[in-house]
Amino acid sequence: MKNALIAALGTTLIALGASGLAWSEHDGDDRGGKRQGATARADLAPVTNERYRTECGGCHFAFQPGLLTAANWGRVMNTLDQHFGDDASLDPAVKDELLAYLDANAADRAGSKRSRSFAQGKITGDGPPRITQSTYFKRKHDEVPVKYVKDNPQVKSFSACAACHPAADKGNFNEHEVNIPGVGRFED
């Protein structure tokens, strides 16, 4: 009886996997969305370093390391005295700790499909690398009217991820869950 129960359970799990109802958070699906019978999951590894979350997230959204390559994070961290118009200098030991975290979890080292897409893209424009200037970011946001963002006092910038992506801090950037303040749900 016990063996028959184990065999039936195994058959059920195999059937669920084949039907798409069972899935892994590491399945490489870049939509980051829900599948029937599943719950939303992160499509980028969320921030796990508390010092990074407090030091960087104290001024702006604590961007996931998987949004820039290690080389680009190095450029950002090595120009903190001119950080997008501000002096964001850190104690050298803190800077080294944060750079090690960013480097180890950067887009070119991360396992998610979305991180790999960021790593493969190029960043256009002058100055420090901006996530919003990456070819991947631009492609994913090309149908969002600029007025919904820059002219929106509740958003102001495409770099304000959490304004429109309610689970951005958890690494979930599901395009089907976008909710632009003052506009509502947005589907491109």
Task: Kindly report the pTM of this predicted structure.
Answer: 0.75
* Residue 174 vs residues 5, 42, 69, 127: alpha-carbon distances, Å: 38, 9, 21, 29
- Tell me the pLDDT tens digit for each residue of 99-121: 999 999 999 999 889 999 999 98
d(CA 17, CA 84): 47
Position 41 scores a pLDDT of 58
Residue 184 dihedral angles phi and psi, to the nearest 5°: 105, -160
pLDDT surpassing 50 at residue 161: yes
d(CA 122, CA 157): 20
- Tell me the pLDDT tens digit for each residue of 49-106: 999 999 999 999 999 999 999 999 999 999 999 999 999 999 999 999 999 999 999 9
pLDDT surpassing 70 at residue 168: yes
pLDDT surpassing 60 at residue 138: yes
pLDDT surpassing 80 at residue 2: no
Question: Residue 124 — very low, low, confident or very high, per pLDDT cuts 50/70/90?
Answer: confident
Position 70 scores a pLDDT of 96
pLDDT surpassing 60 at residue 3: no
Angle (nearest 5°) at CA 64 between 61 and 68 = 110
d(CA 142, CA 123): 15
Q: Is 150 exposed, middle or buried (0-12, 13-18, 19+ CB in 10 A)?
A: exposed
Domain boundary assignment for the chain: 50-185
d(CA 144, CA 95): 35
Mean pLDDT throughout 175-179? 92
- Tell me the pLDDT tens digit for each residue of 38-48: 345 568 899 99
Identify the helix (H) or strand (E) that includes residue 136: helix 135-141
* Residue 14 vs residues 8, 17, 35, 75: alpha-carbon distances, Å: 10, 5, 17, 47
Paired with 180 in beta bridges are: 184
Position 126 scores a pLDDT of 81
Paired with 118 in beta bridges are: none
